Amino acid sequence: MARRTTSSSTGSTPGPRNRTPQPLPRRRRTFGDFAKATAAFVALLVLLVGVPGALVVSVGWPLPHGAPSLDWLQQEITVGTFINVLTVIVWFAWAQFTACVLVEVKAALSGVGLPNRVPGAGPSQLLARQLVAALLLVGATAASFAPGLSQLGQSLEGNQRGTVAAAQQTPGGLFAQQQEQAASSAAAALAEQAADAASHADAGSGHTAHEGDTKYYRIHPPEGRHHDSLWEIAERHLGDGRRYKEIYQLNKDRTQPDGSKLSEASLIRPGWILEMPGDAHGGDLVELPDEAPKVSEQVQQQIHDYAKTGDHQQGGGQQGAGDRDTAHIHLPHQRPGGDQGVGRGGDQRHEQGASHASDSSAAEESGFSFGLPETLVGAPLLAAGLLGALGRRRRQALWQSALGAVGGRRGMEPPVPTGSAADAQDALLVGADPEGVRLLDLSLRGLAAALAAESRPLPTVYAAWLSGNGDLHLQLAQPAGKPPAPWQLGQDQTFWMLARADAERYEDVDTAAPYPGLVSLGTMDDSRLLLNLESVPGIVSLSGSASDRAGVFASVAAELATNGWSDRMTITLVGFGEDLTPLAPNRLRHLDDVEALVETMEAETRQRRGALGAAGHDSVLTGRTGPAQHTRWAPHLVLLAAEPSAEDAVKLAELAADASRLGIGYLVGTESGDLPGAAWEMEITGEGKLLAPLLGLELDAQSLPVAQQRAVVELFVEADPERERTNSAAPPFLVDISEQGRPAVYARLVGPYEIIGLDTPDGERSPLMHEALALLLLHREGVHPRVLSSALWPRGVTDDVRDALVDRLRGWLGTDPDGTARLGTDATGRLTLAKSVVSDLDVLRSLYHEATQGKGVNSRAVRGRLLTDALVLVRGPLLADRPAGRYGWLTHEIIDAQLPLLVADIGLALSAFHLEKDRAEKAIEALNAALNSAPADERLWNELLRATHTTGDGDRMKRLAADLVARSGARGLPPRTEALLDELLPMWRSGVAAVG
């Protein structure tokens, strides 16, 4: 990737940096500039003052002086009438032009983005824009040593400025180009004065300041979209952008000329003064301001006053609430408290050990990663989304197979992943934080509901931070007042904060997801950043090598496609990611090239603008709360991995200029780092750092490399409901059900948890060891040690604690007569149980398999006995008496869907067995027994209707129909059941009413 380096007198070494726009050419004002400005001023004066004055003097009041009557309408139309009509039209045109001038002046003074459009004002607004820009082209010279026009209002208390300076400067318009020229001229004047001052100070080299020639730097006004940053200052004057922290420490919390303070390394403002390290160099530094004749006396005094506020005046004070600027993504302050280590999802560490993050770090330091992809382990929200989507996909496959089967299940067991897919699944189990996702979703929807109840709009949110202790911080684009309880104001007016304890008290609410475009980018100081892609006013660009960019793009696409805090969403992948579509076929779509993208987005942009206008909404945010929330206003996020051509880039920039209002976000890759229309610019390095110094970000990036992409996609492809399944799929573990096959250890899991063949462990370790054994019994293919520890200790545990438990578990289970330990380890390092350790679920599966695909196929008597024995084993739901707060890992399993289907299959098979001999009562008894464990299975109810119908008891049928109607509630009977009742009991509706 092409890199831009900043040279200095002593040379510089480029470090990691965020690409910034090249400064525009600097030039002095010419006579033509002044002539244009004068002409623009005269034209504005004539149009704004002369036109209405001439109308008043020459025509006067053009409208009738009284209410119109029928006689007035019948009067003759004269020349005066035409003149009055034309006068009214001219007044309207003047009012429209005046509105255009006010809009353009407001946009010019704020320096933020393109001005708003005045309806129907096309040529008028263009003329106003050109006149205002020409006038300001010369007026910008007043900004020499004062903050530029785009910075006015930043020093107001409470940070009332509601826009992002660096982010909202959109290119492409004539006015934007003229603004850049004006700003660059102001910056040129500042640079010239500072250079003259520095050269004059160098001439007086005999003078030395205290502590060795202390140097000062005054922050430049912005040049177009280019805002100065500590990183770039350090890169220019210290030779390494990474030394920005030295500048920050020298100036932290010292009062600036405008009364505010430097409280964030990512926040500096034009006009501020910075003390520089002693080895700083460069022409725009000031050493002795009182001997620099071109530096105004006011500036000299400011530097002298600032020099007096050195280290001895600095305290460790807190940052002022009004000293923030939303031009940067700030890291929120951590809440005060005790030991707040980072566990998955922000939980505090378990008292017995460190978090999974520390476990991962220790593994990486030792060079041994337990064979699991650490990129997935370290992405808790992404892992939770993928794991949840995978579970839903597998359940869908089970139900679809069950409903499509006649007399039994097809493909009872989902395929067990192997190789890299197994490692990916284990990594998802270790890293996933479903509780964190649940709380994030509840918090955001709860906020939307509370604001809707107060008739308040949703604020624009640029980013969300999940801090180390689990608190949620939303960074707003501008102050939005006091948040609704239990939300609180954060470190300033642009942060709303919700403590984890308050989030846990939220309940589900029926409201649209307010910020579905949030996506994880990485971590910074133990806090996880989620950027709201749909709110960025323009394009987000990502530079770096192609492979590094691909990992970030894949991570963003996978999380957006599977996250739990969104409703409907469209993610368009351009030039990459076709193989990712199996993750979420309803959300992800793939386009081959930019041409197709531009055509698609032009149509959608027009459609969304029209829809918002017709609904009377300013943006999609107002459409997601209140009476119109049913429309949902789902976001559309575009991920373009390859750099577009210059022409396509301009088209995308024009589309993105209004995208944030429409709920459309653009993330675009670039090789050169120079992308037109890029509002926020980031870079991914080969070391896995995501850098955006102008936004104040240096993250440990979240990425999904190609190998992990393929492994995750394989999991989803194997779970596809449309994938062909074999009818003879056997359980993963078959038990010897003969008399000779008695197990040494027998665990009853279907119903209350019991263990036969082992003594109960002593004291407090007993529940933990029982839970570990249950996990192993449900995974006969083996359990990775890290999966075991994450299941038993969701908040994290150290390796020695986990290994001690495994040793105790191995000792508790004992050995077989041949001396083989009943808890072993396979070739991949996973923990496995010996065949002598069996559960009733293993027996249940084996009995059904043997009855339907083994000896029972050719022997009716054997089939009946095996099915009866299997149904007797069903004593209730899985682990019916499990204690609250434990066995949370069951949420990742599909056994809760498999077991009822298996019981229903057994009940259906046994019912069919009895009905073959016209034993209806026996069939009904078997079906009722199965319904105790699978009460929602439609197949059982339908078969019960058929079996009851064979008894010829009409009243019994009516009672059964009434029971079914009562159970179905407001949803009504399923179509198949209703059709079956129409066939078996034509008058069932009146019969149900009579029974009721």
Read off the pLDDT of each residue in 341-360 and give the average, rounded to a whole number: 38
pLDDT digits 0-9 by tens, 624-639: 765 555 455 788 999 9
Give the pLDDT score at 253: 80
H helices present in 814-894, as ranges: 840-853, 860-872
Read off the pLDDT of each residue in 512-522 and give the average, rounded to a whole number: 92
Q: Is the per-residue pLDDT at 195 higher than 70?
A: no
Q: Is the per-residue pLDDT at 85 higher than 90?
A: no
Give the pLDDT score at 693: 79
Which range has highest mean pLDDT (148-152, 559-563, 729-733)? 559-563
Rounded to whole angstroms, the Cα distance separating 496 from 980 reads 56
Read off the pLDDT of each residue in 194-201 and give the average, rounded to a whole number: 42
Give the pLDDT score at 61: 67
pLDDT band at 373 (very low <50, low <70, confident <90, very high): confident
Is 336 in contact with 490 (CB distance < 8 Å)?
A: no
Give the pLDDT score at 518: 94
Give the pLDDT score at 925: 93
| Non-local CB neighbours of 610 within 8 Å, separated by 6+ positions | none
Least confident piece of the model among 71-80, 823-832, 869-878, 981-990: 71-80
Read off the pLDDT of each residue in 476-498 and give the average, rounded to a whole number: 91
Number of helices (H), then strands (E), belonging to the chain: the values are 32, 21
Least confident piece of the model among 46-55, 335-344, 657-666: 335-344
Which residue has better confidence, 952 or 66? Answer: 952
Rounded to whole angstroms, the Cα distance separating 473 from 467 reads 8
Read off the pLDDT of each residue in 387-409 and give the average, rounded to a whole number: 75
Give the pLDDT score at 623: 65
Read off the pLDDT of each residue in 845-856 and give the average, rounded to a whole number: 90
Q: Is the per-residue pLDDT at 357 higher than 70?
A: no
Query: What is the rounded (10 degree) CA torsion for 812, 817, 820, 823?
Result: -30
Q: Is the per-residue pLDDT at 890 higher than 60?
A: yes
Give the pLDDT score at 164: 33
Read off the pLDDT of each residue in 521-545 and give the average, rounded to a whole number: 90
Is 524 in contact with 473 (CB distance < 8 Å)?
A: no
Rounded to whole angstroms, the Cα distance separating 397 from 582 reads 14
Read off the pLDDT of each residue in 579-606 and give the average, rounded to a whole number: 90
Which residue has better confidence, 870 or 15? Answer: 870
Read off the pLDDT of each residue in 163-192 and give the average, rounded to a whole number: 35
Give the pLDDT score at 720: 81
Which residue has better confidence, 688 or 57? Answer: 688
Read off the pLDDT of each residue in 455-474 and give the average, rounded to a whole number: 90
Give the pLDDT score at 406: 42
Indicate the length of the chain as a whole number: 996
Give, as one character, the DSSP assignment of residue 47: I
pLDDT band at 335 (very low <50, low <70, confident <90, very high): very low
Rounded to whole angstroms, the Cα distance separating 163 from 173 reads 19
Which residue has better confidence, 887 or 266? Answer: 887
Read off the pLDDT of each residue in 574-586 and give the average, rounded to a whole number: 89
Give the pLDDT score at 165: 32
Q: Is the per-residue pLDDT at 714 higher than 80?
A: yes
Q: Is the per-residue pLDDT at 200 higher than 70?
A: no
Q: Is the per-residue pLDDT at 121 higher than 90?
A: no
Give the pLDDT score at 573: 95
Handedness of CA 512, 514, 519, 520 (dihedral sign): negative
- Residue 495 pairs in a beta bridge with 475
Is 369 in contact with 708 (CB distance < 8 Å)?
A: no
pLDDT band at 137 (very low <50, low <70, confident <90, very high): low
Rounded to whole angstroms, the Cα distance separating 203 from 230 reads 28
pLDDT band at 608 (very low <50, low <70, confident <90, very high): confident
Give the pLDDT score at 725: 57
Which range has highest mean pLDDT (175-179, 297-301, 776-780)? 776-780
Direct distance between the N- and C-terminal alpha carbons of the chain, in angstroms, rounded to an integer: 76
Give the pLDDT score at 413: 67
pLDDT digits 0-9 by tens, 230-250: 877 888 888 887 788 888 888
Angle (CA) 861 864 867, round 5°:
145
Give the pLDDT score at 110: 54
Average pLDDT, the chain: 76
Transcribe 178-229 into DSSP letters.
HHHHHHHHHHHHHHHHHHHHHHHHHHTTT---TTT--EEEEPPPPBTTB---
How much of the chain exceeds pLDDT 70, in percent? 74
Read off the pLDDT of each residue in 305-315 and give the average, rounded to a whole number: 61
Least confident piece of the model among 264-273, 780-789, 963-972: 264-273
Least confident piece of the model among 131-145, 273-287, 421-435, 531-545: 131-145
Q: Is the per-residue pLDDT at 700 higher than 90?
A: yes
How many C-alpha atoms does 7 have within 13 Å on its Cβ side?
A: 1
Read off the pLDDT of each residue in 451-464 and give the average, rounded to a whole number: 90
Q: Is the per-residue pLDDT at 348 higher than 50?
A: no
Read off the pLDDT of each residue in 45-57 and give the average, rounded to a whole number: 81
Read off the pLDDT of each residue in 958-976 and give the average, rounded to a whole number: 84
Read off the pLDDT of each residue in 343-359 and give the average, rounded to a whole number: 38
pLDDT band at 136 (very low <50, low <70, confident <90, very high): low
Give the pLDDT score at 192: 44
| Non-local CB neighbours of 256 within 8 Å, separated by 6+ positions | 262, 269, 271, 272, 273, 306
Burial group, residue 610, by CB count within 10 angstroms (0-12, 13-18, 19+): exposed
Which residue has better confidence, 96 or 869? Answer: 869
Tokens of 588: 């992800």
Give the pLDDT score at 563: 93
